[in-house]
Structure 1
């Protein structure tokens, strides 16, 4: 029986250590101080998936697609107005197909000073793809976003945080500055590739700091919004408050077709108003990665 045919309890030590050590958190990248002496850093991000999730799932019915269309038609303008009013930069991770469907949206991000970053081609599931296919789609997405935004993306968030055995090698080949798909810390860190320092920054995410698990509704599955919006506000405020206490990073992942709805948007607005009481550094993920890399001598 080969190692791939064995049950995990049958693996020898070299096998399980090899799996664990393939992609690992390296040196912490928490600077001694934030720009301007800010008490903490805040990195807001939005995954502009729109119609790509139903398309990825081969769901082409108008009803499913309209849920995604809401994100671009209503959610994004609402979000951009709030960010503009509060003078907050953000990062928009965008599947290339979303960008092709809504090129005017990409231009609006750029015009308002936000970052446009990689989020796959059509929100594909990387862990179900052959390495060559994942590579081709990622490079194609980078080329497409560069054409649409006028700038080559420097960061990636894998669709659904689906980080395959090939993702890191592809990201390194692209020469990316950072990834934002892994979960080994609250603070930025350097990614290790089989123990080798990569010079690539990880800006970690977590399902706790993501709107989709709390608010997604699918009548054909068990996916239901069990947590009231104000309950999510309490969770996120606690996450921020402790980041502030520790002088660290508060990173948040949202989706225009989710948080853009009125009762959910009210939560985001109230959270931003709460954070506005403190001296903070608001940064795009690119700005954050560049700063911690420079300040920590990476």
Structure 2
């Protein structure tokens, strides 16, 4: 089976997108780059687990050298918008412009052209698929119609774009988000999340399918949460026949198998 870990390196971009420039929110995002990313890279090296980092271009520009550190460690860098914009609320020309600017920025900083995208809103506007195809991307990781990879179909026609589906139950923010001015509050203790994710892995292992996980450095990077990820990876690594792979590697395997 394949285990494909992913990290959305949003850092300060959700706050900046909404025009929030006070130091509190920005510092909370900066934690991801300052503390979370180094912890994550060290952990992934320990388990020899190549992973996928979905990076808003503004995050990449704000934190010099971070994108290159992903590539140098053997990880994938993929698209995640310009400034974590809400792509479903943009006019088509703005969505396209930001996507192409993000592609150019990440390609320049990473030294390699991204082959996949996760939309910042985990959704498609009426124009997202067309833009994705125009960018020449192989895959998306935003839609949730299956446990394993599938091909996106539009108007009854196959598109050639592979979907590697995420899910909110396999996303750290769904459990750990905190906003003092809204109703968003953490509602599951870290060990409770570990139980959910371990059950997800065990079922995927029994099926011989994919276990996909989405995390955020400013969230999973905290001590009590990185401990949970460490314990989960210990559990995963104790199983025979597990392949740690990037999203791009999994998609390449799927495409190769489809050609046979």
TM-score normalized by structure 1? Answer: 0.86
| 2:158 corresponds to | 197
**1:41 Cα deviation after fit:** 0.7
Partner of residue 163, structure 1: 124
Aligned residue in 2 for 1:18: none
For residues 136-195 of structure 1, the C-alpha deviation after alignment (integer angstroms, 9 at most, x for no partner) is 000000000000000111000000313211110100011100000000000000111111
CA distance in 2, matches of 1:158, 1:207: 14
Kept after mapping to 2: 8 A contact 1:178/1:289:
yes
Asked if 1:256 is matched to 2:217, the reply is yes
Is the contact made by 1:158 and 1:181 (CA closer than 8 Å) also made in structure 2?
yes
**Cα shift at 1:296:** 1.6
Q: Does 1:134 align with 2:95?
A: yes
Q: How does 1:41-56 map to 2 (within 5 A)?
A: 41-56=2-17
The question of 1:106 aligning with 2:67 is answered: yes
In the alignment, structure 1 residue 81 sits paired with structure 2 residue 42: yes
Match of 1:94 in 2: 55
Which 5+ residue runs of structure 1 have no aligned equivalent?
1-39
* Alignment-derived partner of residue 258 in structure 2: 296
Tell me the residue number matched to 2:115. Answer: 154
Partner SS state of residue 159, structure 1: coil
Which of the residues 286, 289, 294 maps onto 2:248?
286
Q: Does 1:123 align with 2:48?
A: no
Q: Give the Cα–Cα distance (whole angstroms) in 1 for the partners of residues 43 and 219 of structure 2.
A: 16
The answer to whether the 8 A contact 1:125-1:162 is kept is no
Whole-Å Cα distance in 2 between the matches of residues 193 and 294 of structure 1?
Answer: 22
Q: 199, 205, 208: which is aligned to 1:247?
A: 208
Alignment coverage as a number of residue pairs: 259
Deviation at 1:86, TM superposition (A): 1.0
Q: Give unpaired runs (5+ residues) of structure 2.
A: none
Moved more, 99-108 or 41-50: 99-108
Normalised by the length of structure 2, the TM-score is 0.98
Partner Cα separation in structure 2 for residue 224 and residue 178 of structure 1: 33
Structure 1 residue runs of 4 or more that deviate by more than 4 Å after TM superposition: none
* 1:213 is aligned to 2:174: yes
Kindly provide the CA deviation profile for residues 79-125 of structure 1, in whole angstroms up to 9, marking residues without a partner as x.
00000111110000000000001121111101100000000000000
Superposed CA RMSD: 0.8
Contact preservation (8 Å) 2:88, 2:121:
no
- The verdict on how the C-alpha distance between 1:187 and 1:116 changes in structure 2, with shifts beyond 3 A counting, is same
Aligned-partner Cα distance in 2 for 1:173–1:192: 16
